[in-house]
Structure 1
Amino acid sequence: MKGARTKPQHTETHDDTPGLTARRVAARLLGAVIDTKTPLDGLTDGEHGHPQYRALDARDRGLVRAILTTALRHRMAIQALIDARLDRKLPSNAAALNHILHVGAAQLLFLDVPDSAAVDLAVTHAKGDPRTRRFANLVNAILREIGRRKERALPAVLAKTAEAPDWFAERLDAAYGPDRARAILDMHRHEAAIDLTVKSDSEGWAEKLGGFVLPTGSVRLTSIEGPVSELSGFADGEWWVQDAAAALPARLMGDISGLRVADICAAPGGKTAQLAQSGARVVAVEKVPNRAKRLAGNLERLKLDAEIVVADLFEHKPDALYDAVLLDAPCSSTGTIRRHPDVLWTKTPEDIARLAGLQRRMLDHAATLVKPGGMILFCNCSLDPEEGEAMIATALQENAKLERMPFAAGEFPIVDGFLDVDGAVRTTPAGLPDQDPKRAGLDGFYAVRLRVKG
């Protein structure tokens, strides 16, 4: 197979078989995620994504996205089923073959695609690629066997497979214990619902949109028809999409009406909107101009006002210190795996350590922006304590300007079930349980309230 990896032999044979192009694009993008750790959102961006993806029509784009999220969400189970049908594991230089198998198996096992179509397209794909041509019969045999045995084999493998790479599963066990870690991993197999933050009348909007109100105050939709932007209330700015966990930190700042508050990692603007809706005088700081433009557009739709500052946080020096700062810091995003299953395959322990260091520096700088006695609400969407509990504990030991302002039970009843022993908020995808996984769960978030000493 080494000889098949030379560049001139990578040219695939063109074939106009219906559906084949979409499967080829799916396998190629899956390879970009797994082999080069490229985030899926960037690859499937409608304007700036992979050129082969952008060349597809809307229907095929939707199919490719469905195949990719499914293949990534169930990657360990799919791999186990493939391995069980091999005398020995595929060699490391058979990546293209493995991606074809995963794309085919994802359709066989989890998507509404006829088995014969999924298998035939995978075989045709393998025949058209010089790297995999001689394995076309193997592709046919493996996928047909998976299809025949799936009714019994799939439940069995799901029951014994942890849907995560070993390093992540081990860190989750260490942080949460095996039972809670397993509950989190099980939730990762289910796509997250769409949550909305509404300006007012949560019950009314839940009834109008066919959803329900969560204990945290967000409105949850378990299914929608068509784009979110076509739902009632979107164009009028009555609500915005925001996971229930992501909506908590701004609410935990309490009564901020009239206060000068900075959201210092602001885009896309959900928390900025919450702060503005609460009556604060908001300064939204965003480093990336395109993201700041998107933020401005979102605020305009919502008919909310904030001063937008395009600047690197570390260079931001306001004319007057803020009363409070919300710091939703860049992180590994491991709390959002239900929405972004590629995170498990694009992030590493080294990324977590690097990002924890960045968060610490951002927190130290945030402390210089707040009046003595003012508040910092630090949060991020990581499940890893290195980016949350451990980072904050170190910061409090080493930065004399900061002290905890623990949340007390009953102070904000919406988070009473999420408080840890230090009075911080920790949510996980296993929170908000429900017998129906489509109604359950929320993103993994950590939020802590700090005071800047005088």
Structure 2
Amino acid sequence: MPETPGFPARRAAMRLLDAVLRRGETLDQAMSSSTKGLDHFADRALARAIAGDALRYMVDLDALIDSATRKNLPDDAKARMVLRIMLVQWLQLDTPPHAVIATGLPLLQGGPRKLAHGVFSTLVRQEVKLPEVPTLPDRVMMRWGERGEDIARGLAVPPAVDLTLRNPEETAQWTEKLGGISLARGHVRLARGATISELPGYAEGEWWVQDLAASLPARLLGAGEGRTVLDLCAAPGGKTLQLAAAGWKVTALDISDKRLERLRENTERTGLAAEVIVADALEWQPEGQFDTILLDAPCTATGTCRRHPDVLHRIGSRQIDEMADLQEDLLQRASTWLKPDGQFVYAVCSLEEEEGVKQNFPAALTPDPISADECPESLAGACSGNHIQTHPGMHAEAGGLDGFFIARFRRAV
């Protein structure tokens, strides 16, 4: 018997959710195996969209499901998983209820279809709605505290596309040419949906895609004027391109040769130069010291929850502690490669205090205050002392931005 049109994409969405919630995989990791057999890009994109929004609104979806059952379904019940998929299509993706039922109930082959149909139909009759701002899981709210509500506002807005310009002096020109807005010098923000490779300036290497928050660490180092900088954990390479464009002599190191491929492609497209090294920073040893070091350290990446809502459900205290320990090891080792009085910038795309303000920074590094004119005016409230902290709720009305903790230091003379 032929499958209902659209059913394979829903089945893939359920596989994605299972991979995240049961096996702890990221959405990116799970895409290949979960969408195997889907021939069309649109089907894979739909599966990702369903799973992503189900994770983004899971607390609220579960509250709706529980309101329509006499006894709460177990958290890992297949019927609950299917109802999440059905509800998010109707409430968030505007799929007609009849199409939701036709493609959703077959996921419960041999299971409680009558129950799922009844719960869904009840909620449709009640004309329920999802809140404008997703409710965060309790354990996440406990970690993020008062920031939680502001951060959650950023989850409700589809991320915009940010570009970093090779020549910041041409900000006004490229903002007009690309039809975007600018939140900082050297930055242009575009609406979602554009085909990147077809935009003006792409082939000529005039810009590259990079979230505004991710561009801040390199901005704190200013003009290179031929001095040396080590970009540690450099892939996918946006910061390397910034540093090279600002006149630094860049050594870009990362453990992943595959992830460095994008950096190599972008240096070729932009004509910018960098020495690229594939190595483990915990084992590699440079021949000499550097004028400046930028460490964009491996982290839990909870600051990317707009694009990767799986982090809301995968990350807990164990992963946070493991990453904080790894970051401390990298900091201790890398700080010895810095020349006296050299600048050191540490960055993580994390919202966890253990990876940021509570990190154990080496005694040899002293805080280097960030002046008001070094922080984009649009993010003035994010700068304090020697660090910058952004979160997804900032500029949510214009597409938000990733959450980063960035700190600048100097090595004692």
Q: Same fold (TM over 0.5)?
A: yes
SS at match of 2:213: coil
- CA distance change for structure 1 residues 216 and 382 in 2, over 3 Å: closer, same or farther? farther
Partners of 1:111 and 1:413 lie apart in 2 by 35
Map of 1:154 onto structure 2: 129
SS at match of 1:261: strand
**8 Å contact from structure 1 (residues 122, 139) kept in 2:** no
Map of 1:10 onto structure 2: none
1:40 aligns with 2:22: no
1:286, distance to aligned residue in structure 2 (A): 0.8
Supply the AA of the counterpart residue of 2:36.
Answer: Y
Per-residue Cα deviation, 1:380-405 (whole angstroms, up to 9, x for no partner):
111111110010xx32xxx3311111
Partners of 2:148 and 2:42 lie apart in 1 by 36
The partner residue of 1:89 within 59, 69, 72 is 72
Map of 1:370 onto structure 2: 338
Supply the AA of the counterpart residue of 1:400.
Answer: A
Map of 1:209 onto structure 2: 178
Partners of 1:52 and 1:412 lie apart in 2 by 42
SS at match of 2:282: helix
**8 Å contact from structure 1 (residues 162, 169) kept in 2:** no
- CA distance change for structure 1 residues 411 and 267 in 2, over 3 Å: closer, same or farther? closer
1:166, distance to aligned residue in structure 2 (A): 1.2
1:339, distance to aligned residue in structure 2 (A): 1.1
Partners of 2:374 and 2:38 lie apart in 1 by 52
1:431, distance to aligned residue in structure 2 (A): 1.9
- More displaced 10-residue stretch of structure 1: 291-300 or 161-170: 161-170
Partners of 1:216 and 1:336 lie apart in 2 by 23
- CA distance change for structure 1 residues 351 and 51 in 2, over 3 Å: closer, same or farther? closer
Map of 1:163 onto structure 2: 135
1:302 aligns with 2:270: yes
Partners of 1:51 and 1:22 lie apart in 2 by 10
Partners of 2:238 and 2:84 lie apart in 1 by 35
1:229, distance to aligned residue in structure 2 (A): 2.3
SS at match of 2:407: strand
The partner residue of 2:115 within 107, 129, 138 is 138
1:217, distance to aligned residue in structure 2 (A): 4.2
RMSD (Å) for aligned C-alpha atoms: 1.8
Map of 1:3 onto structure 2: none
1:290, distance to aligned residue in structure 2 (A): 1.1
The partner residue of 1:407 within 370, 377, 384 is 370
Map of 2:205 onto structure 1: 237
Per-residue Cα deviation, 1:14-57 (whole angstroms, up to 9, x for no partner):
7521111111111111111111111001222xxxx116435432
1:265 aligns with 2:228: no
**8 Å contact from structure 2 (residues 8, 38) kept in 1:** no
- CA distance change for structure 1 residues 427 and 210 in 2, over 3 Å: closer, same or farther? same
The partner residue of 1:75 within 58, 73, 78 is 58
Map of 1:105 onto structure 2: 87
Supply the AA of the counterpart residue of 1:416.
Answer: A
Partners of 1:54 and 1:301 lie apart in 2 by 34
Map of 1:281 onto structure 2: 249
**8 Å contact from structure 2 (residues 296, 347) kept in 1:** yes
The partner residue of 2:161 within 194, 205, 209 is 194
1:92, distance to aligned residue in structure 2 (A): 4.6
SS at match of 1:314: coil
**8 Å contact from structure 1 (residues 163, 186) kept in 2:** no
1:236, distance to aligned residue in structure 2 (A): 2.1
Map of 1:7 onto structure 2: none
Partners of 1:40 and 1:450 lie apart in 2 by 35
Map of 1:339 onto structure 2: 307
Aligned pair count reads 410
Partners of 1:67 and 1:162 lie apart in 2 by 15
| Long gaps (5+) in structure 1 | 1-13
1:162, distance to aligned residue in structure 2 (A): 5.7
1:93, distance to aligned residue in structure 2 (A): 5.2
1:423 aligns with 2:377: no
**8 Å contact from structure 1 (residues 276, 304) kept in 2:** yes
Map of 1:220 onto structure 2: 189
**8 Å contact from structure 2 (residues 53, 88) kept in 1:** yes
- More displaced 10-residue stretch of structure 1: 103-112 or 84-93: 84-93
**8 Å contact from structure 1 (residues 265, 285) kept in 2:** yes
Supply the AA of the counterpart residue of 2:157.
Answer: H
| Long gaps (5+) in structure 2 | none
Report 1 or 2 for greater relative contact order, CA contacts < 8 Å, sequence distance ≥ 6. Answer: 2
Partners of 2:321 and 2:213 lie apart in 1 by 23
Per-residue Cα deviation, 1:248-270 (whole angstroms, up to 9, x for no partner):
11011122221110101100000
Partners of 2:75 and 2:212 lie apart in 1 by 41
SS at match of 1:195: strand
SS at match of 1:190: coil
SS at match of 1:425: strand
1:87, distance to aligned residue in structure 2 (A): 0.8
Matches within 5 A, 1:311-350: 311-350=279-318
**8 Å contact from structure 2 (residues 350, 404) kept in 1:** yes
Supply the AA of the counterpart residue of 1:290.
Answer: K
Partners of 2:374 and 2:47 lie apart in 1 by 46
The partner residue of 1:120 within 102, 108, 133 is 102
Supply the AA of the counterpart residue of 1:62.
Answer: A
- CA distance change for structure 1 residues 116 and 330 in 2, over 3 Å: closer, same or farther? same
Supply the AA of the counterpart residue of 2:4.
Answer: T
Partners of 2:405 and 2:268 lie apart in 1 by 29
Supply the AA of the counterpart residue of 2:165.
Answer: V
Supply the AA of the counterpart residue of 1:377.
Answer: V
- CA distance change for structure 1 residues 360 and 93 in 2, over 3 Å: closer, same or farther? closer
**8 Å contact from structure 2 (residues 158, 399) kept in 1:** no
Per-residue Cα deviation, 1:67-102 (whole angstroms, up to 9, x for no partner):
1111111111111111111111112552x2222111
TM-score by length of 2: 0.94
1:181, distance to aligned residue in structure 2 (A): 2.3
SS at match of 2:140: helix
- CA distance change for structure 1 residues 359 and 154 in 2, over 3 Å: closer, same or farther? same
Share of identical aligned residues, percent? 39
